[in-house]
Structure 1
Amino acid sequence: MCRYVSVLCGAVAVLLTVLSGSAVAQPSSDSNRAPLRIMHFVLSGTVPLERAREYVNQAQAAGFTAVQVLLTDGVRLDHAPWKPVKTAWTKAQLISWVAYARAHGLDVIPEVKLLTHQEQFFQKHQPGLMFNAVSYDPRKEGVYQVVFGLLDELIDALHPRAIHIGHDEAFGWTVGQVAKWLKFGEVMAPADLFARDVERIHGYLSQKGVETWMWADMLLDPAEFPGASSKHLHGMAAGYGKAVRNRLPRDIVMCDWHYGDEQGSFPSMAVMQSEGFRVIGATWKREETMRNFSRYALSRKAYGLMATTWFHVQRNDRDLVDWIIHSSGRLFRNPDAAVPPRPASAASPEGHGRTAP
């Protein structure tokens, strides 16, 4: 009898330990899984369907497990607010490409530029719904009639596990950014409206059983990370940075992009992980950054790594795009792997949302 009681007590203790541990570690419950490896490209302007299928073939060969595709005027959708180009894919073609990617073992994450970068979403066609020249106004219900209509269409057509909602580069955090992106007398969207917009869209997607992914730059204040490169930490305006992070649900996946950093550590990833977020590290075309961020992210058991190509697809920089896919695929698995030299390319700005330099 004593032996049975001892066994029972031991079992209860183990159960309590497991339950307690899972309660504490819930945000990183999948920390033992292999990280996602995501290839990112922009479906804007003319991107031939066959070329997009080649990306799938290359990504599969390079060891990627998913593709994130930014949807804008390169595809015709019934509820999209943008004006499609003449050569835009039909919805049927988009569905067929997604099926092709999945048949090759790649998950597909659609991205839509919400709140910010409205040159790619509303495209100046809805002036009455705008807060300023580049951001829509979350206080206006008409915004969500458009946004939710498009999200419903994507969910019904593609059945994605997640949708990436953008929210990068809310322009106006420096005098130079204000002068470049906003009209005279305009101000950037306040942090409260930014957070309210994320919360509302996240709530809507959650009801549909779809994860929310977003870019993290507006949630990161350079003052919080002394010694780190501040180039892509844009949450320095009043109320942004940690204050917004504190408001957001922890099941949002944060995509932490660093494109030209030279350091070996990326504390923004570690801090967001410690707060309970799953974090994906995103790189672009600088080999040193790709190596260092891959090494750091793998050591942190990050949720994933993402290789972006941005406007190089639209510029038809095929050698460079091919190099990004091949080299990132290798470095995301082994940061010490040998990769060929990067093809020569014109210097270009390291910002998001641009389909042309």
Structure 2
Amino acid sequence: MKLRIILIIILIAFFQSCGIAQRNNKLNSQKDYRGSVIKKNTIKAPKYKISTPDYGRTSFNQVNLKQNEFKRDLNNQIIQIINDTIKNNPGNTAKLNLIKITNAQPNLKDFQIEEYYEIDFNGNNITVGAIDAKGIINGLASLEFELTQNKTPKKNIKDWPNIEKRIMQINLKAMDPEVVKHVLLRLWRGHFNGAFYSIHNSVEFEASKKYCLKDAMSKADFKSICDFGNIFNIEPVLDFAFLSHQNKSFVLEEISPELLFNNQTLDPRNPAVYQLIYSLIDEVIELVDPKIINIGHDEVIGFREKHIVKHGPILPSELFLSNVKKINNYLINKNISVWMWGDMLIAPEDFPNMHPGYFHATKEYRWLIDSIPKNITICDWHYKHYKGKLKQKLDFSSVDFFINKGFQVIGATYNVNEMTRQFSNYIIEKNHPRFNGMIATSWHKLLDGTIKNKEKSDHLKQYDAILEFSANAFWNAE
């Protein structure tokens, strides 16, 4: 009898330990990023401005760096990445020369000269030339793409961008840090020079740790992502929600209701709000030393009547303004450039030929535009066409409105290709020094590599579609 009791106790303990182990494994699996499926990079390099065909060029499976006149400015990891990409190709070893040239194409602007590059294929010798290291990085991206293409080789390439700031959004929510690095390689091939990292409680900063998602990456992982992007001249633009979109992207109501005006909006009257934001900013600066932070302030809940029934009244406009000014002052004292979304500053009735979905200023908010500090860059987003007019020339007069008010403007697009094409071209048409960049947003399209979707390896194609079209539209805007 005693033996049976002992056996029962042992079995109970065994099954309990199995249950604990299963729970621990489940928790660990939420942090176990490794093993996510990373889809092959099929992104095409943006179309070259000048190129000549060479249908007899040999395929290569390795490049050896023979000459490098950019040793101080170029990370050798780029050459290793190229070799890793082509190592399974049939073919020979190429000799690679990276040289400094003195002249670009005539009549280029300063930023175009910096990013200008040339590639010459001559038998087993490949020469990439540029005036600046930024150009060499672009040239190596095109070279990496060309070496994966056996059907359409080029003999000579001369190329440069038409838009200065070319930025792609990367939503970090539940992302595997290693997959993010592979996404950055896609940005490199697309000649983007900025990554718009939407943090969304997905990095374990100490200041906001209690609000973090269970799948949040470590600070070390986030730093490694930013450092990796810097290798390819991809500047980090950090995107935070410092007013609106709470309960999803920053402060959670069930944890800190006292910090909220309503369950979607921070309360600018509470000094603890700024203690939290400033602590987070200081921590971010110490970690990755960003030059640009987007403070959010889009879609403040209550701009539509139906919001008020569910969430309560909209934040008073004077509190919106005080919040912008306080955060802006803190950031400029830290030498950080401040960006914000512009939808709460413009009303649909002022732009009758535009889609009303991205103008959210109520009557109480329309006066704010003249009080917003002029050092702030306005991100003006245009995602949808209006009244079936997609094939006609679209209206982007909100850009003119912001410029005339004295602001720097960055355009933002999403997944409507014709909108992306026309908005990119509008930069060239406008030709204004305070309108010099575009953001390709992706929001929730980046699903491949997320912890919850490891098995869905085809979801990255939605992100790739936005990236590839936007890359070409931004680089070759006309």
TM-score (norm. length: structure 1): 0.80
Q: Is the 8 A contact 1:215 1:254 kept in 2?
A: yes
- Offset at residue 32 of structure 1 (A): 6.9
Q: 1:197 to 1:32 in 2, by over 3 A?
A: farther
Residue of structure 2 aligned with 1:255, choices 379, 391, 406: 379
Partner of 2:105: none
Q: Indicate whether 1:217 and 2:350 are aligned.
A: no
For residues 356 and 285 of structure 2, the distance between their equivalents in structure 1, rounded to whole angstroms, comes to 36
Q: 1:57 to 1:311 in 2, by over 3 A?
A: same
Q: 1:62 to 1:107 in 2, by over 3 A?
A: same
Q: Aligned Cα RMSD in Å?
A: 1.7
Residue of structure 1 aligned with 2:439, choices 295, 302, 306: 306
- Offset at residue 68 of structure 1 (A): 0.8
Equivalent positions of 1:143-154 (< 5 A) are 143-154=273-284
For residues 144 and 294 of structure 1, the distance between their equivalents in structure 2, rounded to whole angstroms, comes to 36
Q: Is the 8 A contact 1:232 1:258 kept in 2?
A: yes
- Offset at residue 253 of structure 1 (A): 0.6
Structure 2: runs of 5 or more not aligned: 1-108, 112-162, 454-458
Task: Report the 3-state secondary structure (helix = DSSP H, G, I; strand = E; otherwise coil) of the residue aligned with 2:295.
Answer: strand
Q: Indicate whether 1:328 and 2:475 are aligned.
A: no
Task: Report the 3-state secondary structure (helix = DSSP H, G, I; strand = E; otherwise coil) of the residue aligned with 1:310.
Answer: coil
Q: Is the 8 A contact 1:202 1:212 kept in 2?
A: yes
Structure 1 runs of 4+ aligned residues shifted over 3 Å read 31-34
For residues 100 and 256 of structure 1, the distance between their equivalents in structure 2, rounded to whole angstroms, comes to 28
Q: Is the 8 A contact 2:211 2:250 kept in 1?
A: no
Residue of structure 2 aligned with 1:193, choices 319, 328, 336: 319
Q: 1:82 to 1:232 in 2, by over 3 A?
A: farther
Equivalent positions of 1:1-357 (< 5 A) are 33=111, 34-44=163-173, 46-80=174-208, 82-119=210-247, 120-124=249-253, 125-179=255-309, 182-183=310-311, 186-235=312-361, 237-241=362-366, 243-261=367-385, 262=390, 263-301=393-431, 302-314=435-447, 317-335=459-477
Q: Is the 8 A contact 2:447 2:460 kept in 1?
A: no
For residues 213 and 250 of structure 1, the distance between their equivalents in structure 2, rounded to whole angstroms, comes to 11
Q: Is the 8 A contact 1:191 1:239 kept in 2?
A: yes
> Identity over aligned residues, as a percent?
29
Letter in 1 for 2:442: T
Q: Which structure has the highest strand share of the two? A: 2
Q: 1:108 to 1:177 in 2, by over 3 A?
A: same
TM-score (norm. length: structure 2): 0.60
Instruction: State the structure with more CA Rg.
Output: 2
Structure 1: runs of 5 or more not aligned: 1-30, 337-357
Task: Report the 3-state secondary structure (helix = DSSP H, G, I; strand = E; otherwise coil) of the residue aligned with 1:38.
Answer: strand
Comparing 169-178 with 92-101, greater Cα deviation is found at 169-178
Letter in 2 for 1:334: N
For residues 81 and 127 of structure 1, the distance between their equivalents in structure 2, rounded to whole angstroms, comes to 16
